[in-house]
Structure 1
C-alpha cells in the first residue's frame, strides 16, 4: 500500500511539474486581427513617412551594367536546402553557382539588383554587406536582394538550431566569402554599365507550375514567367527573369552543388545566341512547385530548364525596347506580431523559445522601380496564390509588378489566410508569424504599388 501511495505521489509531482513546464514553454495562438496590433501601426507609419523622392527619380537615360561572381568556395562545406540532409557536406560541384548583379544609374540615383544562386539571401550576410558596399558607392538601402532558392547550393551561413538544420554548421568564413562575392559582382556591374534599352514581358506557363499546398483544383497558381530585357550600346543583351516554381527539381539525396533549374535555365538562355547574360530570381514561390511529370533528378532539371528557355526565346527576340530614365526604390521595416510557431492548431511555443530556435532578425519589405516596372522584395516564401490581385492592382496603376522572395530576412511562409489552420508543412510548420499575414503583406504591397505609381 505504501508503495502505491509513494508511486501516486511521485506521479502527481511529475504531472504538476509537467504542467508548470508546459505553461513555461507554450501558450495559445494570438488571433487578434492584425489591424488592431501595434506591429501593423508601426509598419504603416513607416510607409507613411517615406521620402517621396526615393520612390522614383527622373534623371538621364538609364545606364545598365551586369556581371557575375562565383559562389564556389575553396572550402568543402555543407549544402543548404533540405533538413533531411542533416548538414551533410557537399560531394563536389555539379554546375556553377553565382552572385549575379545589375546596376541601374540615371545620374541622380544608382541602384543594384543582386540575385544569388542560393537557398536564400542569408541574414548574416546582410549584416556584413553595409561595410562591404560603402567603398563602392552603395548602401543597403539601394541594393535589392533576392535568390534563386536552389536547394542544392552552399550552406554554413546561418546561426541557430533551425538555420543549421537547413544550411549545416555555421561558418563565418563562408558568410564573409558570400559577402565579398556580392560586392565584387556589384563592382563589376557598376564598371560595365552603358546606356541601355529596356523592355518587359511575361509568358503564361501554367503547364510548368502547380499548387503543392492544396492542389490546383482547390487552390490557384501564379503561372506567369516574367522577365526584363536589356540591350546596351555595345549590342550586348541581358535577361532578368523571375518565376514562381520552387527550385526543387533535385531531391535531398543529391549531394553536389547545383543551381537546380534556375542555373540551367540561365545557361540555356545564354547558349541561345541571342542572350549574353541571364539571371533568375525566385518569384512568389510559396505553395508553388515545378511541374514536370515522370522525370526526376538532373534529367528533370535539364528538360524543365530547356522547355522554359525555349518559351522565353520565342518571345524575347521580338520584344519592344525603349530608353528610360526612371529609377527608385524603398527599404523599410516590415514589423510582425510575436512568433506563432505552432505545435497544434491553437497552441504555440512561447516567443522566447522561438527566438532560441530561430533567432530574432528584423524583416524588411523592399522595392525597385525601373520605368514602369516595379519589383517588390519580400522576406519570406511569398505565396503565388496572393499575386494575381496584386498584379491587377499594379496594372491598373500603369505598373508591371514582379514579386520576389528572400530579400535578406526570413519570416517563414506567407500563405493565403484561408489555409492558415491546414495541417501541412507550409501552414503549420513554417507559417511562423500568422495568422492574417496573407492579408497584411497584401495590404503593405498594395500601398507600395500606390506610392510608386504616383510618377508613372
Structure 2
C-alpha cells in the first residue's frame, strides 16, 4: 500500500507540477565586461563513490540499497562516480565579487538547491559555481530532503548530503590549488546514430557534440569539456550497483590516455526527450540482456571519446580570454491542479502542498557565462531542467546570431522537472500533449527567450568594452 501511495503522489507531481507562470523579469543592463587577460586553469577529479552502501537514485521506486560499485571483470575496472572540476581565472572580475568560474561535472542523477548551496558556501564567495549532473540512474541517492523525491531517490540521509557537498567542494578547491597558465579553444561536430527521441519518433534529436579544449603553456592537454545529449540509462537496474554509465566510460577512456592531472568532463545538453541507443552492430552479437547493456555503456563511451579525439586536433587555442558570468532570477511555473487527471482529483490539495509549497519555489536562477578567447565568442546557458531537443536547438540558433558558439546545459545546479517545447496550443492540455510538457504550453519558449535576452545583453556589454 505504501508503494501505491508513492506512485500516486509521483503521478500528481508529473501531471501537476506545471501551471501558470508570471512574466519573466526585465533584463537589466549588465556591467561592462572586463578586458582580455592571460587565462589560468586548474583541474581536479575527486571520487564520489560513498563510504557506505546507501540508497540509489534513478530507477523508481526508491529505497534501493546499493550492493557496491559495479566491477567490470572483462575490462578489470570499476564504474566509480566522480566530481570533475575545471576552474578558469584571468585575474579579472568575472561577475560581482567573483574572480573564478568553476565548471563541475558530477556523476549524480540530479542536483538540488540544498546541495548546490552547501557547495557554494564551502568554496567561498569568489568562485562562480556551475554544477552539472551527468544523470546516471545508478548513482547515490538519499540526499534530497523531501517526501516526494524519496520515490526515485530513497529516503533522506543527512550524511549523504554532507558527504556529497564536501567531495564536490573538494574537487573545486583542489582545482584552485592547481591553477597554471593555460590556453583554451572550442569546436563542435555531429555525433549521429547514437540517440533517438523517446517522446515522439519524428521529433528532432540534438546530435551536436561541443568540445571546450584546454592546454597548458607547453601544449599538454589539461582538460576536455564535452556537451552532448543522451539519457544514461544503459546500466541494468536489477544489478543494484553504483555506476557512472556511459558518461563515466567516456571520461575513463580519455583519462586513461593522458597525464593523471587531466580531466574529461561530460555535460548534458538537451536530453529531456532523448534516449541513448548505440548502433546494434556493436553489441548484437552478445547474448543476454545484462551483458548487452554493459557492452553498450562502453560502446557509447568510446563513440563519444573517439569523436573528441578526432576533433580536438583541429581546435585553435588562445592564452588570452575574457570571462563573463551573469546569474539572473527567473520565474518558475506553479502547480496547475486543473491539469490533474479527473481520477486524481482527491489528491489535488495534496499535490498543491507537496509540489508548489514543498518542492517548487517561486523563482530560481539561470547561470549564463561567456568565454571569449579572441578567436571565438562562446555563450553557455545553464538550466535547472531536463530540456527538450527542440528548445535546445532553437535557443542555440538564436545565441549563434550573436556568438560564434552557443551551448545549452541541462541539469545545472538544481532540478525542476522537464522543460519541453509546446506541442499544442490547447488549454487545458490533455493526453500526451500535456504528459510531455509538464509546464504550461509556451513556458519553455518563455524561459528560453529570457535566457537569450540575457545573453544578448551580456554581448552588448562586451561590445562596450571594445
The TM-score, its normalising length taken from structure 1, stands at 0.83
Alpha-carbon displacement from aligned partner over 1:24-64 (angstroms, at most 9, x marks no partner) = x99x99999x7xx5x21xx323x32x5424xx432421111
2:63 aligns with 87
Q: Does 1:377 align with 2:375?
A: no
2:91 aligns with 107
Which of 255, 265, 270 is equivalent to 2:240? 255
Q: How far did residue 315 of structure 1 move?
A: 1.2
Contact 2:18 2:333 in 1 (8 A): no
2:445 aligns with 439
1:211 aligns with 197
Q: Secondary structure at the match of 1:280?
A: strand
Q: How far did residue 154 of structure 1 move?
A: 0.6
1:121 aligns with 111
Task: Flag the structure with more relative contact order, 1 or 2, with Cα contacts below 8 A and sequence separation at least 6.
Answer: 2
Q: Cα gap change, 1:82/1:67 in structure 2, threshold over 3 Å: closer, same or farther? A: same
2:229 aligns with 244
Q: How far did residue 353 of structure 1 move?
A: 2.7
Q: How far did residue 270 of structure 1 move?
A: 2.0
Contact 2:329 2:365 in 1 (8 A): yes
Q: How far did residue 431 of structure 1 move?
A: 4.5
Structure with a larger share of its residues in helix: 1
Q: Which runs of 5+ in 2 are unaligned?
A: 1-11, 71-78, 94-99, 284-291
1:98 aligns with 82
Q: Does 1:343 align with 2:348?
A: no
1:387 aligns with 392
2:255 aligns with 270
Q: How far did residue 122 of structure 1 move?
A: 2.3
1:318 aligns with 314
Q: Secondary structure at the match of 1:418?
A: coil
* Partner Cα separation in structure 1 for residue 444 and residue 217 of structure 2: 43
Max radius of gyration: which structure? 1
1:289 aligns with 275
RMSD over aligned Cα atoms = 2.8
Contact 1:229 1:240 in 2 (8 A): yes
Worse-superposed segment, 266-275 or 232-241:
266-275
Which of 9, 23, 34 is equivalent to 1:57? 34
* Partner Cα separation in structure 2 for residue 231 and residue 442 of structure 1: 32
Q: Cα gap change, 1:77/1:277 in structure 2, threshold over 3 Å: closer, same or farther? A: same
Worse-superposed segment, 172-181 or 356-365:
356-365
Q: How far did residue 453 of structure 1 move?
A: 2.0
Q: Cα gap change, 1:347/1:184 in structure 2, threshold over 3 Å: closer, same or farther? A: same
2:140 aligns with 154
Contact 1:145 1:377 in 2 (8 A): no
Q: How far did residue 161 of structure 1 move?
A: 2.6
Contact 1:411 1:432 in 2 (8 A): no
Contact 2:396 2:408 in 1 (8 A): no
1:334 aligns with 330
Q: Secondary structure at the match of 1:325?
A: strand
Q: Cα gap change, 1:302/1:431 in structure 2, threshold over 3 Å: closer, same or farther? A: same
1:173 aligns with 159
* Partner Cα separation in structure 2 for residue 267 and residue 172 of structure 1: 30
Q: How far did residue 190 of structure 1 move?
A: 0.9
* Partner Cα separation in structure 2 for residue 330 and residue 57 of structure 1: 13
Worse-superposed segment, 301-310 or 328-337:
328-337
Q: How far did residue 127 of structure 1 move?
A: 3.0
* Partner Cα separation in structure 2 for residue 433 and residue 307 of structure 1: 34
Q: Cα gap change, 1:202/1:326 in structure 2, threshold over 3 Å: closer, same or farther? A: same
Q: Secondary structure at the match of 1:169?
A: coil
Alpha-carbon displacement from aligned partner over 1:241-265 (angstroms, at most 9, x marks no partner) = 1111111122332311111000100
The TM-score, its normalising length taken from structure 2, stands at 0.81
Q: Secondary structure at the match of 1:253?
A: helix
Worse-superposed segment, 443-452 or 297-306:
443-452
* Partner Cα separation in structure 2 for residue 281 and residue 31 of structure 1: 26
